Amino acid sequence: MAWNLIRPALLVAAALLCGGCWGKSNYAQCVVKEISRGVESDGVARSIVQSCLNKHGFATAQEALASVPPGGGRGMFSFKSGAECAAKRGRKVRSELGARALRAACNRLYEPVIYDPFDPARS
């Protein structure tokens, strides 16, 4: 009897804790996922960035990053900062361009909002 009451509560708690685990991906998540697999050359990094741009329907990386809410990747089990994300996900990245793209995506996903350079109200 008690298990029948506890089981739904555990399912609800798991769903709340995992918030964006099954959510729709965005450009920054695509870049982090693909580049963190390991990139040896700038050509491959460029191809990955272009693939993520095409997948999410953007022309430029700046436009794509602007569409990602600042700090949008933060959650209970996520990285605490963009630096932590880049350090852990960038270990296999040998390309400078790949490392820069990864850091920009990590910063957009995991840094708290202090100043948003992509904010249209700033113009």
Q: What is the pTM of this model?
A: 0.74
> Which residues, other chains included, contact 10 with Cβ-Cβ below 8 Å and sequence gap of 6+?
none
- Output the six-digit token pair for 94: 């040998």
Residues 46-76 pLDDT 10s: 999 999 999 999 999 999 999 999 888 888 8
Spell out the domain ranges in the chain: 24-113
| Token pair belonging to 59 | 């022309």
